[in-house]
Amino acid sequence: MKPKISIIGAGMTGSTTAHWLAEREIADIVLVDIVEGMPQGKALDMQESMPVIGKDVSITGSNSYEATAGSDIIVITAGIPRKPGMSRDDLLSTNAKIVGTATEETIKLSPNAIYIILTNPLDVMCLVAMEKGNLPKERVIGQAGILDSARMSAFIAMETGVSVENINCYVLGGHGDTMVPLTRHSNVAGVPLDKFIETEKLEAIVNRTRKGGGEIVALLKTGSAFYAPSAAVAQMCEAILKNKHLVVPCSVLLEGEYDQNGIFFGVPVQLGRKGFERVIEYELNDSEKEALKGSAEHVDANVKNLRDLGF
Ligand code: APR
């Protein structure tokens, strides 16, 4: 029997995650959404494309959590984007309820599942999932760092003309404008970035990386990025199911690492069949430490907002 991955929220990121996963042929896939017929329709359409690409996976859609029973991985993308007239608190409260309920309902049916969270504000939603599902920290992993690092790598590849396969970028911290692209640890074929690219150009790339999500939102006008975020989730799923011990930046609960305690925060982690296996700690200089501290303060403030809302 193939492993099973259930995706809660079959919108843009959810359905595109299913697409990338089906191409990798690593698991049967279930899409769940509250919109009647939509997950069923997308799943059937995708299932009908499997003969064309020659992949034997089952893709089903449902409006009920029952369909997720026995999942190895639960991916949560369900949520609402901010609409005109809505405060950030409204978004936080609404998405925290959605993520909390999705976790409570799915953990009953898949007690051993590993949770990958995409819903924003990401770092706080991970905390909600862990608490509502009463999950050990190893089994709650937020997707953000792979996406932010991939954006930076894409910009470096565009600038240098070097293959993306030779570029290793590491973006840490909270998922937002305060994220911390580590230029000193990032490299092109082993050469540190700050030795490979002129300072001004590198600064522009760092700035573009920080605002990468907003750049896509401005272009799309409705909705936010979905190809790169979902590709990142597919990579995480594969690393977990194949027990690859792959090191990638993800948001996990820190308990002392990087001088942080009790918040979900983007750091390099090793992913395997048990979830995240360990945090990899870089030696940081003072300015890098300061930048990470600022980013952590931002996540802390969001957690406080969550508590003020009664979560
Ligand atoms: N249960 C299941 N699905 C739900 C629920 C719920 N309780 N509430 C909302 N949804 C579904 C919506 O019906 C919608 O189909 O979640 C889906 C969200 O999809 P999109 O609106 O297309 O949003 P998407 O681009 O996928 O982003 C989802 O991921 O990257 C983050 O910031 C992004 O928080 C957002 C999330």
* pLDDT (mean) for 279-297: 94
Residue 1 pLDDT exceeds 80 = yes
* pLDDT (mean) for 66-84: 92
Establish whether residue 115 lines the binding site of ligand 1, counting it when its CB lies within 6 angstroms of any ligand atom. Answer: no
Residue 177 pLDDT exceeds 90 = no
Q: Best substitution site from 12, 13, 119, 132 to test ligand 1's pocket, by max atoms within 8 Å of Cβ?
A: 13
**Out of 6-10, 98-102, 120-124, 271-275, least confident range:** 120-124
* pLDDT (mean) for 117-139: 96
Report the pLDDT value the prediction gives residue 221, as an integer from 0 to 100. 87
Q: Where are the domains of the chain?
A: 4-142, 145-308
* pLDDT (mean) for 279-286: 95
Establish whether residue 223 lines the binding site of ligand 1, counting it when its CB lies within 6 angstroms of any ligand atom. Answer: yes
Report the pLDDT value the prediction gives residue 194, as an integer from 0 to 100. 87
pLDDT band at 105 (very low <50, low <70, confident <90, very high): very high
Quote the percentage of the chain above a pLDDT of 70: 98
pTM of the model: 0.97
Active site residues: 175
Report the pLDDT value the prediction gives residue 250, as an integer from 0 to 100. 97
Residue 86 pLDDT exceeds 80 = no
Report the pLDDT value the prediction gives residue 207, as an integer from 0 to 100. 95
Look at strands 180-181 and 171-172 and give their pairing.
antiparallel
Report the pLDDT value the prediction gives residue 108, as an integer from 0 to 100. 98
Spatial separation of the C-alpha atoms in residues 246 and 231, rounded to whole Å: 15
Same fold flag, 4-142 and 145-308: no
Mean predicted lDDT score pLDDT of the chain: 95
Report the pLDDT value the prediction gives residue 145, as an integer from 0 to 100. 94
Q: How many angstroms does the Cα of residue 77 sit away from the middle of ligand 1?
A: 5
Establish whether residue 98 lines the binding site of ligand 1, counting it when its CB lies within 6 angstroms of any ligand atom. Answer: yes
Query: Assign residue 161 a region: left if phi > 0, alpha if psi is -120 to 50, beta otherwise?
Result: left
Neighbours of 259 (CB within 10 A): 11
Spatial separation of the C-alpha atoms in residues 148 and 232, rounded to whole Å: 10
Is 4-142 CATH 3.40.50.720? yes
H helix and E strand count, the chain: 10, 14
Name the fold adopted by 145-308. L-2-Hydroxyisocaproate Dehydrogenase; Chain A, domain 2 (3.90.110)
Beta-sheet strands, E only, within the chain: 4-8, 28-32, 59-62, 73-76, 114-117, 140-142, 167-168, 171-172, 180-181, 187-188, 191-192, 246-255, 261-272, 275-279
**Each residue of 202-252: pLDDT tens digit?**
999 999 999 999 899 899 988 899 999 999 999 999 999 999 999 999 999
Report the pLDDT value the prediction gives residue 82, as an integer from 0 to 100. 72
Spatial separation of the C-alpha atoms in residues 141 and 206, rounded to whole Å: 25
Report the pLDDT value the prediction gives residue 291, as an integer from 0 to 100. 93
Report the pLDDT value the prediction gives residue 146, as an integer from 0 to 100. 96
**Each residue of 39-71: pLDDT tens digit?**
999 999 999 999 999 999 999 999 999 999 999
Residue 88 pLDDT exceeds 70 = no
Establish whether residue 272 lines the binding site of ligand 1, counting it when its CB lies within 6 angstroms of any ligand atom. Answer: no
Q: How many angstroms does the Cα of residue 154 sit away from the middle of ligand 1?
A: 26
Give pairs for 180-183: CB < 8 Å, separation 24+: 180/288, 180/291, 180/292, 180/295, 181/148, 181/152, 181/206, 181/209, 181/210, 182/282, 182/288
Nearest CA to ligand 1 atom 19: 11
Establish whether residue 142 lines the binding site of ligand 1, counting it when its CB lies within 6 angstroms of any ligand atom. Answer: no
Look at strands 73-76 and 167-168 and give their pairing.
unpaired
Neighbours of 234 (CB within 10 A): 23
